[in-house]
A and B are shown apart, each in its own frame.
Chain A
Amino acid sequence: ETGVTQTPRHLVMGMTNKKSLKCEQHLGHNAMYWYKQSAKKPLELMFVYNFKEQTENNSVPSRFSPECPNSSHLFLHLHTLQPEDSALYLCASSPFYTGGAYEQYFGPGTRLTVT
């Protein structure tokens, strides 16, 4: 257990559905991250939140909408996804984002399949 939990662990959704992924960290960290891991590709950083403020959005399509209500919780709202969005979505947290390179702790991921 890394102290970062993600729900659901598996999700199958149609292209017209709306769903949300949830991430919660119990480490007292202030930075949280969403990553996408597709088969045979490196992890891609999607979003970074530092003290609840979005500091990074790496050209992610608007059909992915992040939300960070507090430093412990991070959501990824999904709507009108495409089959190529099927991937493992990983959440991570670290003590801070700026001012130093802090080790990230990863959750187990949500395996998303878009049909």
Chain B
Amino acid sequence: KQEVTQIPAALSVPEGENLVLNCSFTDSAIYNLQWFRQDPGKGLTSLLLIQSSQREQTSGRLNASLDKSSGRSTLYIAASQPGDSATYLCAVRLMNSGGYQKVTFGIGTKLQVIP
């Protein structure tokens, strides 16, 4: 059974700091990995999707890396801003023999960027 762990559970940083969020998973035979952002009481917004054949993806100030062999992914946020404050979720997708997706989410890291 796939398990996804996100560390730390919460993080508070001053504005402008670069930071790294971590995601680890137990089954390395993944199809892809996705990072989401969730604002309080809201749904999920997709940030970056990394296919299993890729090592990293970048979007603006965000960079996500994937190391399948070690079962780890990191989300790097450069020059953090108060608007980045949210919970960041990692989701790992497996594909079973029937071609169906099995997505497992982490609990998330709650980020607070202090002005």
Contacts and interface: CB of A to CB of B under 8 A. Distances in A.
Please provide the 5 A-B residue pairs with the shortest distance between their CB atoms, ordered closest to farther: A106-B43, A43-B105, A106-B44, A42-B105, A108-B43
Contacts of A98: 98-101
8 contacts: A4-B43, A6-B43, A42-B107, A43-B91, A88-B41, A99-B99, A101-B32, A106-B44
Contacts, number: 52
A104 to B, nearest CB: 8
For B32, B101, B104, B107, which residue has the most chain A Cβ atoms within 10 angstroms? Answer: B101
Contact of A40 (B32, B34, B107): B107
Interface of B: 4, 31-32, 34, 36, 41-46, 49, 89, 91, 93, 95, 98-101, 103-107
B contact patch SS: strand
Interface residues on chain A, size class: 20 to 34
A90 interface: yes
A103 B45 contact: no
